[in-house]
């Protein structure tokens, strides 16, 4: 997905992906991510986690969430989430988000995202479970086998990287 | 806090508060709350829950979160959150958010928010634990006694309403 | 759209609407609306303006934006916006948003939203132009006559209220 | 600001910066950026523009906005903004944001941000004027000379790149 630039200091990819397995996405905390206390507003952590999961899913499976209905006849909305906060984040902090696939169920998959700042300090942990549904009826469906295979391949690749 | 209107159909309060104990806040799901699937974007549920907790805290304790540093020498950022989703929400749905105070600890308080749509269908449950900290050092502090008393009074009022 | 409450201090409507023509919507600025400077984050003003326009459109025309495709065969995305800021807003400020329909064109309508705080101080002015399009082809279409009539009726009602 | 990665496919910078003068920032449109119509929600364009201006300001002046009070005794909130929309954006679209500094006034600077998608199609244009203020009194102040010099240097560098 990278594209050369004729005028820039570097040829870069669309996003700052540090590692494919485990998938690590780098972002910078922004002015507008902060709340009245000057630190990142709590729901933004869930937003960061879901954006990291979206980028990971796109690369690990070759399909973006918006194309799940046409490619597989499903959508995969979250059914549960939890977050634990360890350390505040401030604007201009760097945030590295590591994505692990912790469970592949019959209809669901669970993604754990953890975030570290520029000093390597763990800032938050997060887990979101996504469930495959029929987009019209909104009833759960088994994960399509082809998709399950790609998710399992990501777990395997992480296992080899993180023995 | 209400203010009369000379030109309107009704004199209303600042927000649509249906009940004081348990605190119930009504809102309408908006166009911009939805994501690419047309239903509410997951982090918005945490945003709804925190906004409801903010309104509840303001009324139950008489202090808005922004004034906690000057009134009590503390801030109370979240340290943990969990969410469970039961039913999707669409723009123009009505959402009634009920706020219970499920735990008052030494330094923390835990707020449970549940949301129902216009048909009374439970849409999500949520729990967020807030911890009192020193705003500068960002270390935990005991909840000030005066604040603890107000929180306990809310629990009592809910206990009488929900026997 | 109001619904009685058996347990609350007041019977309220879904949203705090102070006036129908001109339409005035009241909201309270929230903790999460602020940015790192402690005041409302600039894009939130556009968000406030669009949410006020959405509520107004719903009541003035009887149709929510999400139902425009099925009711009229159109969508009406914004094509232009401008904002001017006069005074900062802080969390817990009250914000009254007044909605005027400043132009009805062949394919478009222009909505001006201005916001005042609890002291009546003007905080921002805003104008957004929405254009009717075919939802599939995304090409502009004339405003349906039935919809144009309802928009014109709102302008008339405001003219009578604001002579 | 780049940091080597021991496990990844590439060493990347914190953000995907394609060019320093004019500053071009690349991002990917996300699932949560879309609204109920499936395209980017209008206020997100202003958010994209402000985040691009924030990254540009950080690199062009060496100071992040959060450090303006301590480095220069000022803040620079927006006082005006306008946006024009040319083409919709969908999740998974790539967005290249080009930042020009169109005016340096006595107390203010004006930043124009334009966005193009992966096919080079212009999607929106935007201009935001930021004004230097005293953070406490919130009254305008002249731009500090050292900061003005850095802003002028960026204009010069763009002039040489864009003759």
* Closest chain C residue to D128, measured at CA: C83
Contact A80 B77 (CB under 8 A): no
Instruction: Please check the confidence at residue C3 and state whether its pLDDT lies above 50.
Output: no
Q: Sheet of C23-28: strands edge to edge? A: C16-20, C23-28, C94-104, C108-116, C122-131, C78-85, D78-85, D122-131, D108-116, D94-104, D23-28, D16-20
Residues of D with CB below 8 A from A28's CB?
Answer: 14-15, 55
Q: Check CB contact under 8 Å for C77 and D85.
A: yes
Asked if C94 and C72 count as a contact pair (C-beta separation under 8 A), the reply is no
- Exposed/middle/buried for residue C88 (C-beta within 10 Å: 0-12, 13-18, 19+): middle
* A8 Cβ contact partners less than 8 Å away, ≥ 6 residues apart: D17, D18, D19, D20, D24
Please report the pLDDT score of residue D119 as a whole number.
Answer: 96
Answer yes or no: are the C-beta atoms of C144 and C151 closer than 8 Å. no
The number of C-alpha atoms within 13 Å of C114 and in the hemisphere containing its C-beta is 10
Q: Is the pLDDT of residue B10 over 90?
A: no
Interface test with D, best of A13, A16, A100 (most D CBs within 10 A): A16
> How far does the CA of residue B32 sit from the closest CA of chain C (Å)?
8
Does D34 contact B at CB distance below 8 Å?
A: yes
Decide the pairing of beta strands C16-20 and C23-28.
antiparallel
Assess contact for A116 and A123: CB atoms under 8 A.
yes
Distance CA B137, CA B153 (A): 30
CA dihedral A143, A149, A150, A156 (to 10 degrees): 120
- Confirm or reject contact between C117 and chain B (CB < 8 A): no
Alpha helices in chain A (DSSP H): 42-61, 68-72, 145-161
Which of helix, strand or coil describes residue C158? helix
Task: Decide if C38 and A36 are in contact by the 8 Å CB cutoff.
Answer: yes
A14 touching D (Cβ < 8 Å)? yes
Whether the predicted pLDDT of B3 surpasses 80: no
Closest CA to A59 of A161, A157, A162, A159: A157
The H or E element spanning position A18 is: strand A16-20
Buried b (16+ CB within 10 A) or exposed e, C129-147: bbbbbeeeeeeebebeeeb
Tell me which chain C residues have a C-beta less than 8 angstroms from the C-beta of A43.
32
SS3 (DSSP) at A83: strand
Q: Considering only CB atoms, which chain C residues are within 8 Å of A34?
A: 34-36
Nearest in space to A110 (alpha carbons), one of A102, A118, A100: A102
Asked if D12's CB is within 8 angstroms of A20's CB, the reply is no
Q: Residue range C47-55: average pLDDT?
A: 97
Q: Would an 8 Å CB–CB cutoff place A92 in contact with chain C?
A: no
Calpha distance B125→A81 (Å, rounded): 11
Q: How confident is the model at residue C36 (pLDDT cuts 50, 70, 90)?
A: very high
Count of A-D CB contacts under 8 Å: 107
Confidence of residue C14 (pLDDT cuts 50, 70, 90): confident
Write the DSSP symbol of residue B41: -
CB proximity list for C67: less than 8 A, separation 6 or greater: B92
The lowest-confidence range among C4-18, C50-64, D140-154 is: C4-18
Residues 46-75 in C contacting B (C-alpha not used; CB under 8 Å): 47, 50-51, 54-55, 58, 64-67
Contact A85 B75 (CB under 8 A): no
Summarize the confidence of residues D82-98 as an average pLDDT: 97
Q: Tokens representing C154? A: 């709102």
Question: According to the model, what pLDDT value does residue B163 have?
Answer: 54
What pLDDT is stored for residue D160 in this prediction?
Answer: 82
Question: What whole-number distance in Å separates Cα of residue B11 and Cα of residue C75?
Answer: 33
pLDDT at B160: 82
Q: Looking at beta carbons, which residues of chain C come within 8 Å of D83?
A: 80-82
A46 contacts on B by Cβ (under 8 Å): 42-43, 46, 81
Say yes or no to pLDDT of B6 above 80.
Answer: no
**A/B interface, count of CB pairs below 8 Å:** 64
Nearest CA in chain A to C91: A36
Asked if A110 has any chain B CB less than 8 Å from its own CB, the reply is: no
Please report, for residues A80, A87, A106, A108, the alpha-carbon distance to residue A102 in angstroms, rounded to integers and kept in the order given: 14, 23, 14, 11
Residues of C in Cβ contact (< 8 Å) with D33: none
∠ CA(B87), CA(B93), CA(B95), 5° rounding?
75
Quote the Cα angle for A41-A45-A51, to 5°: 130
Residue pair B101/B157 in contact by the 8 Å Cβ criterion? no
Alpha-carbon distance of B87 to B117, in angstroms, equals 9
- Pull the structure tokens for residue B83: 């969410």
**Nearest CA to CA, how far is A36 from chain C (Å)?**
4
C-alpha pair distances (Å), B45 with each of B79, B83, B101, C46: 17, 8, 18, 21
Average pLDDT over residues C123-152: 97
- Taking the CA of residue D160 and the nearest CA in chain C, the distance in Å comes to 31
**Mean per-residue pLDDT, B98-126:** 98
Provide the mean pLDDT of chain C.
91
At D8-40, the pLDDT tens digits run 333 346 889 999 999 999 999 999 999 999 999
The pLDDT of residue B129 is 98
Percent of chain D with pLDDT over 70: 91
Q: Which two tokens stand for residue B88?
A: 């999707």
* pLDDT at residue C162 greater than cutoff 80: no
Contacts 24+ apart (CB under 8 A), D67-72: D67/A92, D69/D135, D72/D144, D72/D146, D72/D147
pLDDT of residue D7: 35
Counting residues of chain D whose pLDDT is more than 90, the rounded percentage is 88
| Measured distance CA(A144)–CA(B98) in Å, rounded | 38
pLDDT over 70 percentage in chain B: 91
- Among residues C3, C57, C48, C50, the alpha carbon closest in space to that of C28 is found at C48
Predicted local confidence at residue D161, as pLDDT: 74
Residue of A36, A44, A90 to mutate, testing the C interface (most C Cβ within 10 Å of its Cβ): A36
**Where is C85: in which H helix or E strand?**
strand C78-85
pLDDT in tens, chain A (163 residues): 233 333 333 334 688 999 999 999 999 999 999 999 999 999 999 999 999 999 999 999 999 999 999 999 999 999 999 999 999 999 999 999 999 999 999 999 999 999 999 999 999 999 999 999 999 999 999 999 999 999 999 999 999 876 5
Mutation site, C5, C45, C89, interface B, largest B CB count within 10 A: C5
| Confidence category of residue C12, pLDDT binned at 50, 70, 90 | very low
The residue with greater pLDDT, A133 or C13, is: A133
- Residues B48-95 pLDDT 10s: 999 999 999 999 999 999 999 999 999 999 999 999 999 999 999 999
Q: What is the CA radius of gyration of chain A?
A: 17
């Amino acid at each position: 997905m990278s594209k050369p630039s004729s005028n820039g200091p570097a040829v870069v990819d669309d996003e700052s992906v540090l590692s494919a397995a485990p998938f690590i996405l780098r972002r910078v905390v922004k002015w507008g991510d902060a709340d009245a206390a000057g630190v990142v507003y709590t729901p933004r952590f869930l937003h960061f986690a879901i954006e990291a999961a979206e980028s990971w899913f796109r690369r690990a499976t070759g399909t973006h969430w918006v194309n799940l209905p046409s490619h597989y006849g499903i959508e995969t909305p979250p059914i549960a989430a939890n977050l634990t906060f360890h350390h505040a984040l401030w604007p201009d902090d760097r945030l590295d988000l590591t994505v692990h696939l912790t469970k592949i169920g019959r209809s669901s998959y669970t993604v754990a995202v953890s975030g570290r700042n520029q000093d390597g300090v763990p800032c938050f942990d997060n887990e979101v479970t996504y469930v495959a549904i029929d987009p019209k009826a909104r009833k759960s469906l088994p994960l399509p086998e082809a998709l399950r295979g790609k998710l399992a391949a990501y777990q395997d690749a992480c296992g080899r990287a993180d023995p």
